[in-house]
Chains A and B, each alone.
Chain A
């Protein structure tokens, strides 16, 4: 891969050799570079899990918080300073399991952030238990009889909650993934990119070859067609890859805040509003 200013020299990456995360990291760095962003423009936010280590392996502002909470951190960072490019990254367990409730409400809230989910259908960091997206029948040391629960469908969920940009990529296809990430970042509003990513250590079912055989890139799809997007999102294998839906941009969370109605300075530049305070206390006196 070509060198970028987002490279962090000398970093010791703890992902397994052959992990799909390496390719996603490449795609992210290339996408940011091609968008002419710099490490000072971008905050990469994550929770816990292998995917959540991403901000430690690249050069940019970063906030690596708690398991499942990255979307809350990211929403707040964007709200505190809307000029920052905020990218929330994490795995399927982190974003859809531990952070499931935040996922639902972040989609509804529509902050102008990009949400990249590295979806390998297994818990890698804790050594191979089922994740919310594991397929029925998937056997693990914990799900010894195979997974019973239906897999969580992030794309369909995001669509019905009103997400404006919903896409799926495949880690192995760096060029296409990079292109989708660029579109997601450029979308003004919450943008979800669910990225299929093989876990070479703990998922012997959903391998590079399996993803190759069970996916296809959409061609000639009308990204504005919500009903078609919804149908695609619930289709069984082969799974469509690409931008399923790109809706009309609506007001973002940060764009709707009263705090910015008369004043667009980021919060860190704001002092106490003591004249307004005196006015409020004044109302309490009459």
Chain B
């Protein structure tokens, strides 16, 4: 009796939608854990409103037999926990979408939404399990039943999750989940979608999101000083370090504002710490004088810049890639900087280390750019796939004749810190001489500016090369950076175009020397990025002279989906697409 159009393929996309405060997060965590424990892969992505309670947020969980890492529009199953489902969910309902909800909550809201509505007595079963607050676990149980995953694993999760609470919290959640499970099982006639899966031992068991990846990468690099003013979506990194301050041996402080955060980081760097600040565009704008300070005192500071739409307060909990030029040009005057934009969890781990390595080698700021979509997305990976760079070299002791800003062909002066050695260590925001004292001399100014800017040569030589996916003999080249990379990679593979390749940039400044050649080889270059003016396309053009023939832009506040990327790519490659 399979009345419902559940997919029988290698992958299912489930979306959970509900008001903040309903415990969707717990369900999401539980499902992800059970999926991974069952030997399957999961990719989760969250979108949420800027409010603590109410509204309607959603989480997408792609569950598959092999790695998935990009957002899709397709909803095979929609679990609607609350009424007033938002339009960004409603418009994704397809005839094949199975909608699970309780009319006691939803009324008839979703009856004619376009999918197949399954009435589930969430409230009633939750009440039987111990209270209405358990309806999230009933819903999760239904999903487990449909997927054919063992509900006992959910029980184990609840016991761990609620270890600090009264034992009946875990018990009631488990009871609710089991009640849901029976409903789900019946819906698929006992033939759970992944029921026949034999657990794959090689599936990575670590569930890591973008925010964790940046934090872990920083910790791997020896980051031991983290300051920030809380700002969505960048706060996760601050929380991570706060919770692990003792373990990481890191000073962590929530500062009065972003000015203090960056200035503390620069002061800490002067004293030999390995600092990082984490913020979003609005906070980064405030930090620009401090970034400039880091440039002139040659302080190795790493900034995590997690983007959201602007200008100004923009959309506080949504996503965009519109701060590239802010990162490129922030801070007055001219000084070298490195900018990274990871496209995957593994990359975020590696490139955050790389940001520390380059910041310390070249004694200048490095910026890791993520965005709301990226930091709130996660998938399961194997910890062994998280690559570690060599540890940063220890600080050297200074001699009595030490000069902090000694000229050097590389631009990199010897780095000493106060309190280690016989040398005096000076730092000055003014133009300064070799020992760091303010001294107005036009030849000195030129000598020091040349010394600092010379670092860019080495930084360019060491830049991370863009990665090419697809045929080497491409005619069309799709270019993107940061979080949209996996989405466009999957979109291109869906389209199966023969002579189209993807060029993915995870370091966006300085650009790798191969960039110009790779772009020139293409007959057509199409850039895809999450902003309204094509900032990266502009950078490529100014740097290489290559003008993209088309651009695919999105700036609604939501990330591209694979389907949307595919459709707009097919239009773009056919020559129909343009800016939008």
Contact = CB atoms under 8 A, between A and B. Distances in A.
Given A61-B426, A74-B267, A261 B246 contact: yes
B248 interface: yes
A198 B121 CA distance: 79
A53 interface: yes
Interface string A150-165: 0000000000000000
B196 interface: no
B391 A259 contact: no
A81 B425 CA distance: 14
11 contacts: A56-B437, A64-B426, A65-B297, A74-B267, A77-B267, A80-B251, A81-B271, A105-B255, A105-B256, A261-B246, A270-B222
Nearest to B160: A286
B80 interface: no
Contact of B249 (A48, A68, A273, A282): A273
A77 B270 contact: yes
B418 A64 contact: no
Contacts of B383: 278, 281-282, 284-285
A36 interface: no
B274 interface: yes
B446 interface: no
Contact of B265 (A45, A64, A76, A258): A76
Nearest to B227: A76
Interface string A219-243: 0000000000000000000000000
A272 B418 CA distance: 21
Interface in A158-217: none
Given A262-B246, A277-B220, 8 more contacts: A64-B426, A66-B263, A73-B263, A76-B227, A101-B259, A257-B251, A268-B419, A270-B249
Contacts of A84: 271, 418-419
- Residue with the greatest number of chain B CB neighbours at <10 A, chosen from A64, A109, A262: A64
The 9 closest A-B pairs by CB, nearest first: A268-B272, A73-B267, A76-B267, A272-B222, A80-B271, A72-B263, A76-B264, A258-B245, A61-B418
A280 interface: yes
Interface in B224-253: 224-225, 227, 244-253
Contacts, number: 212
Interface stretch (B11-19, B321-329, B428-436): B428-436
B212 interface: yes
Contacts of B274: 267
A102 B220 CA distance: 31
A269 B244 contact: no
Contacts of A282: 383
B219 A64 contact: no
A75 B222 CA distance: 21
Given A45-B267, A73-B270, A274-B388, A66 B289 contact: yes
Contacts of A277: 216, 219-220, 248
B260 A279 contact: no
Given A79-B225, A105-B260, A259-B252, A63 B247 contact: no
B205 interface: yes
B394 interface: yes
B113 interface: no
Nearest to B293: A66
A4 interface: no
A1 interface: no
B426 A284 contact: no
Contacts of B120: none
Nearest to B384: A281
Interface string A99-126: 0011011000100000000000000000
B257 interface: yes
Contact of A81 (B219, B252, B419): B419
A72 B262 CA distance: 9
Contacts of A102: 256, 259-260
Given A63-B270, A81-B272, A284-B208, A274 B220 contact: yes
A276 B247 contact: yes
A269 B388 CA distance: 20
Interface in B193-216: 205-208, 212, 216
Given A62-B426, A69-B290, A102-B260, A279 B268 contact: no
Contacts of A66: 263, 289-290, 293, 429
B29 to A, nearest CB: 11
Contacts of A61: 418-419, 424-426
Contact of B264 (A43, A60, A75, A270): A75
B272 A79 contact: no
B424 A40 contact: yes
Nearest to B428: A64
- Residue with the greatest number of chain A CB neighbours at <10 A, chosen from B249, B253, B392: B249
- Residue with the greatest number of chain B CB neighbours at <10 A, chosen from A75, A80, A263, A266: A80
Interface string A30-72: 0000000001100101001000010110011111111011001
A84 B244 CA distance: 25
Contact of A60 (B289, B424, B438): B424
B220 A272 contact: yes
Contacts of B219: 272-273, 276-277, 280
A105 B254 CA distance: 11
B177 interface: no
